[in-house]
Amino acid sequence: MMTTTTTPFALTLARRVAGLRLFGADASSVAGLAYRQHGEPKDVLSLEHLERKPLVEERSVRVEVMASSVNPADLNTIEGKYPLKPPLAEDGIAVGGSEGVGKVVEAGSGVGSLNVGDIVVPVKANCGLWATEVTGREEDFQIAIGRDQAQALQKEAITRLGSLSVCYSTAFQLLAPAQPGDVVIQNGASGAVGQAVIQIAKERQVRTINVVRDPHKEDYLRELGGDIVTSDLAKLKTICAELPAPKLALNCVGGESSAAIAKRLASKGHLVTYGGMAREPVVLPTPLLIFKGITSSGFWLSGQFYPESDHRQRQEMIDYLVGLVLAGKLGVRTKTLDFRGEALEAFRREHQGKVVFTM
């Protein structure tokens, strides 16, 4: 069962009131998590009162953020280690956040694909979604739920949609080569993308072998639908014998773990790397390359798929994922934090689950 950890209502209300006292209800300002220099997020981020930007282009939109997420790429961006850099305002301020969901509250006269009231998700990195409001070009966003259905959207669904544009989308694209009946093996399976892989694979009748470091997380992943879940690399060969050899391996760890899942691939299998949480090189033993014809590649959603895909491809993916979310079939373990009152807590200590800001 997917779980969401929340803060008691009374405490949340008190923090929200404190936030309103700080940021007020001034229509000319926006609350945002901003930074002026690279460094550790806990040291350089601050919740600030930012000037509300006017719509300066005919094809620009204003989006009221409803929920936004914290991903490893966001932290690397703030640290100055990520290839994509956010645009800086004239005063040198950058606002963090690349993933979230919001509602269009204003649209320029030239906007054709979005309407005021539409629920949208970003389709580019560094939109500055750690804020109560953002402005951007029409092509930076696509519809998740049309305005006619937006009123019926439940709070839990909004929280889940806050992880769609990076987490669920990455999982969806990673599984693109898999066909019904196939087997996929992955490491880092307890991460947000790993959880999404399990659920999307189950929906597509693809079986999964899931490797985790923490044995205490195994039962949770089985409840999500993981066919095989293990933290024992030494017994992986024996455990995997229960299923046909996988054709696809998904690596977000590197090092010994990447070699372990690559060894379980069928002949001509493929290893895809989309992260490097262990900060160790991907290990692909030479015999796998020569005698089994194993191939390897990388995947980067923000730097490859989004800029290289067209509107139709992105919309088909978004529609499919939204359908799973609304049906209660897709979501990840989260820790929700009230943005105005608790945003900085996201970076001061570790949390069980993916951090999602609710506005």
Sheet containing strand 248-251, strands side by side: 228-230, 207-211, 183-186, 248-251, 270-273, 295-298
From 35, 82, 220, 274, the catalytic residue: 82
Q: Is 274 a catalytic residue?
A: no
What positions carry a catalytic annotation? Answer: 82
